[in-house]
Chain A
Amino acid sequence: MEAKPETEKKEKNWEPKILAFLCRWCSYAGADLTGSSRISYPANVRILRVPCSGRVNPLFILKTLRSGMDGILVSGCHPGDCHYTAGNYNARRKFAILSRLLEYVGIDSRRVQFSWVSASEGDKFAKVVSAVVADVKALGPNELFQLPDFGQMTKGPASPDP
């Protein structure tokens, strides 16, 4: 069990895992439209519905990166279209700072991406996801953190023989 993620990542036909935070009012409906319009897009994306892009705490993004997801997409309503009037404006400020900080500590900006997708932009959603997947594929797997081997840590030093 221990080495499984490693071998999985080294395989030639490795496929990236992308977590997408989609706003409930625009991007989630947009993704729904992509499906109902039968537009195909890469299956690498796992969708997490959030009430608003403003709900996406920078901590979510950091935690997702730390847990080994290869890429992140945060998507919300276009400026001016927010269901809560200003949620996406507030989010935009946070993301601007966060994405610059991530870049500064050495995380490629292609790993954490942001987009505006409205409920009527099913085709745009497919395009955005394809672009993100292509970017992350070019970057390779997220090997930023070696997850601690908890099995070994709980074992501790070998106990002396009684």
Chain B
Amino acid sequence: MSEIIPEVSKDGLLDLGKKLFDERRVDYFLGYKKGTVRFKTTPLIAGKGEDLQELWVEDFCHANLSLYLKEIKGRVGILAKGCDSRSLVSLIKEGQIKREDLYIVGIPCAGQVDPGKAAKAASCEPEEMEEISRRGQEFVIRANGQEKILSKTQVLLDKCLCCQYPRPVIFDSLLKGDYVAPVLPAARAQDDLRKKSVSEKWAFWSGQFERCIRCYACRNTCPACFCPRCIVEENMPQWVSPLPAGGDNFVFHLMRLMHVSGTCISCGECQRVCPMEIPLMKLNEKMTDDLRELFDFVAGVDLEKVLPFRTYRQEDPQDFIR
């Protein structure tokens, strides 16, 4: 982290990006641009200052850009929301990227809008929505010439509702704005499933895993999944059958979860991209809660703290062992 924190205004962002290119501090700049579909953004990968013209920061910056660092070689300037910055910390700790290769620009985030969810709450089709805007603590959706007022919980991505780090944990510059979590910790929704019986849990999850079509979108979009060759594609020996059947889907999802534990920062990308709308974040949340409870570990917050599965304590809990 640099000692001086230059605060940048939204207009200043473009100049900052150009300056980084001019001073040859970065080879690429990762940001967002307007998507071809309304209320969506696409990642912008700029290779020179002029490419930055399309740069756009609004309420729809869903993607976790740290994913693209796998592919990009060289020094990179990157926009990071609070959650994305934790991904960066995780990847630095895993040795996937180097801190000195990054120029991180923190962007304010008060929760990202989930257009699908908003449309459902406003009982209209996503294509019918004309405008989604903030009004104080609420959202106004204009669709079919009518205005509807919705609450944050109805509009924002699920992961944003349990956000704990709205302010980036590492950055070189910070964009001006409010860095506040959309929902206060006390008001956060609890996962009711955890209180249910084992058979009820299985009834829920077997139904969810049954629906999985094994498109691997969750894996491909996950910044924490960085193996060059994934074990699901291994066929000598074949650990997981590629058939999208309940049993192998169970192995795949739990294995994926074990692989990202300690690196997963609950950025929610897996659930967002899931075409079958499987609530994968429930699993991730459970795992991160367990890591915090058992090993006092929170992923992507502290650059110094050793990853949970790379260390141990003699007094680690072992009440489950005979």
Contact = CB atoms under 8 A, between A and B. Distances in A.
Contact of B322 (A100, A128, A145): A128
A89 B314 contact: yes
B14 interface: no
Contacts of B251: 59, 62-63, 66
A146 to B, nearest CB: 7
Contacts of B202: 105-107, 144
A131 B322 CA distance: 10
Contacts of B184: none
Interface string A79-116: 11000001001101111111111111111110001111
B294 to A, nearest CB: 5
A86 to B, nearest CB: 6
Contacts, number: 121
B303 to A, nearest CB: 21
A144 B254 CA distance: 15
A151 B265 CA distance: 42
Contacts of B317: 96
For chain A, the bracket of interface size reads: 35 or more
B248 interface: yes
Interface stretch (B36-44, B159-167, B193-201): B193-201
Q: Is the interface of A mostly helix, strand, loop or mixed?
A: helix
A147 interface: yes
Interface in B86-104: none
B201 A105 contact: yes
Given A97-B290, A114-B322, A104 B248 contact: no
Given A79-B314, A101-B287, A105-B283, A94 B309 contact: yes
Nearest to B240: A63
Contacts of A108: 198
A162 interface: no
Given A79-B318, A89-B316, A106-B204, A63 B239 contact: yes
Interface string A135-157: 00000000011111000010000
A152 to B, nearest CB: 12
B291 A97 contact: yes
B254 A106 contact: no
A14 B27 CA distance: 66
B246 A104 contact: no
A93 B309 contact: yes
Contacts of A131: 322
A108 B194 CA distance: 14
Contacts of A51: none
B286 A100 contact: yes
A65 B201 CA distance: 17
Contacts of A144: 202, 206, 247, 250
Interface of A: 58-59, 62-63, 65-66, 79-80, 86, 89-90, 92-109, 113-116, 128, 131, 144-148, 153
27 contacts: A58-B254, A58-B258, A63-B240, A66-B247, A90-B312, A92-B321, A93-B294, A93-B316, A95-B321, A96-B317, A96-B320, A97-B261, A98-B254, A100-B294, A101-B254, A101-B257, A101-B258, A101-B283, A104-B194, A106-B199, A106-B200, A106-B205, A107-B198, A128-B322, A131-B322, A144-B206, A144-B250
Given A63-B251, A66-B248, 13 more contacts: A59-B251, A62-B251, A65-B250, A66-B251, A89-B313, A101-B286, A103-B198, A104-B201, A105-B201, A106-B199, A106-B202, A106-B206, A113-B322
Interface of B: 193-194, 198-206, 231, 239-240, 243, 245-248, 250-251, 254-255, 257-258, 261, 283, 286-287, 290-291, 294-295, 308-309, 312-314, 316-318, 320-322
